[in-house]
Amino acid sequence: MNSLTNNTQRLTEHFQNDRKIIGAYPEDLKVALSSLDTQEALNEIKSWKGYKSTQLHSLQGFAKEIGVQDILYKDESTRFGLGSFKALGGAYGVLKFIQNQLTEDLNKNISIRDIRDGQYLDLTKNYTVVTATDGNHGRSVAYGAKLSGCKCQIYIHAEVSVGRQHAMEEFGATVIRIKGNYDESLRICIEEATKNNWQIISDTSYEGYTRYPRYIMAGYTVLAHEIAEQLDYKNMPTHIFLQAGVGGFAAALMAYFWEMFPEKNIKFIIVEPTLAPCLIESAKANELTVFDIKEETMMAGLSCGEPSLLAWKILNVGTDHFMTITDDRIPDLMRLLLKGMGNDPSIEAGECSASGLAALIEIKNNDCIAKQLNLNQNSRVLLFGTEGATDPDIYEAIINA
């Protein structure tokens, strides 16, 4: 096996964020997301059937090879049987919509528990939720629709795999495949929702649409709360690598750790594919910037060209370092995670799940950037296994290539 720290990847890009705010989580960002949102989501999601904390692995074999003190890896491959962290967001967003709509229609307070128990099926069957997706988010929205008894229509782009399409259809969703990329599927989704008075449940927020993306981000923070409970205070990470598509997941996790542990001065590194670098482009321009995707990355869940407005507000002032990675290392790292390095456990890591590890290796190859970020043998690095084999056929083809 070649050393993990050989052969720096080609075509990667780095941007050190001089606008980083140090200290307490700013009050004005609590409008985007706060610990109160986390607590509400946590109280609800912990009551769902099948809820349990996902595993937080210590990958000492990888840590020794790369040259850091510890690598913590939050493994979302088992979350609610949906195979990704997305299960925490889209489904919660759907249930909050149903709760809000019933409360308005019936003019009384409605509990989500009663909705999940089927007490309002005669009404919820008349509601329709819609979204655009690369796969995992749509599966969560479809799951939420099944929990609440509403209709669900999902728009996917040309490159979404048939396996991921079928996974959504298994929950009863109607799936529409369009030509073009994710951003085109979102555009059509918005048009159809407006025309038919359907409710969009998207983790992409934009002017005039922030309520449900905020709920979705709050759902994501549940896994951050789990990590805080799984670690001693003194063992909190020094560096957190956050893979990003539209940025909702990355912003949610950043907001949680920043608000709860401001004195730790955790370094946050945002990781994107070179083929879909909308956040690093936004960082360089110091304003939200859309990137026109011409080619799809194998990290399908990160193939997004337009940042989420809410997410960008947090990421723009909280990120220490933006970077991109190529697809080159991803297959080998997926295989290494499955095999385990030294005594590390065997981990089913989907394509997006290897991105943080690839980024860590990339920075450790760059002495200048590693020094800027104080990333060294004393560092405790937190990575996120955001998905397992969400398309088993694709996963097996990569592993066995």
pLDDT in tens, the chain (401 residues): 345 544 444 479 999 999 999 999 999 999 999 999 999 999 999 999 999 999 999 999 999 999 999 999 999 999 999 999 999 999 999 999 999 999 999 999 999 999 999 999 999 999 999 999 988 999 999 999 999 999 999 999 988 999 999 999 999 999 999 998 888 999 999 999 999 999 999 989 999 999 999 999 999 999 999 999 999 888 999 999 999 999 999 999 999 999 999 999 999 999 999 999 999 999 999 999 999 999 999 999 999 999 999 999 999 999 999 999 999 999 999 999 999 999 999 999 999 999 999 999 999 999 999 999 999 999 999 999 999 999 999 999 999 98
Query: Is 75 annotated in the active site?
Result: no
Q: Are 262 and 24 in contact (CB under 8 A)?
A: yes
Tokens of 171: 């929950």
46 flagged as catalytic:
no
Residues of the chain with CATH 3.40.50.1100: 14-85+213-399, 90-202
Exactly one of 74, 86, 96, 364 is catalytic; name it.
86
CA distances from 321 to 14, 18, 234, 273, 310 (A): 7, 9, 24, 14, 19
Catalytic residue among 134, 183, 203, 327: 134
CATH of 90-202, one of 3.40.50.1100, 1.10.10.10, 3.50.50.60, 1.10.645.10: 3.40.50.1100
CATH of 14-85+213-399, one of 3.40.190.10, 3.30.565.10, 1.20.1250.20, 3.40.50.1100: 3.40.50.1100
Burial class (CB in 10 A: 0-12, 13-18, 19+), 100: middle
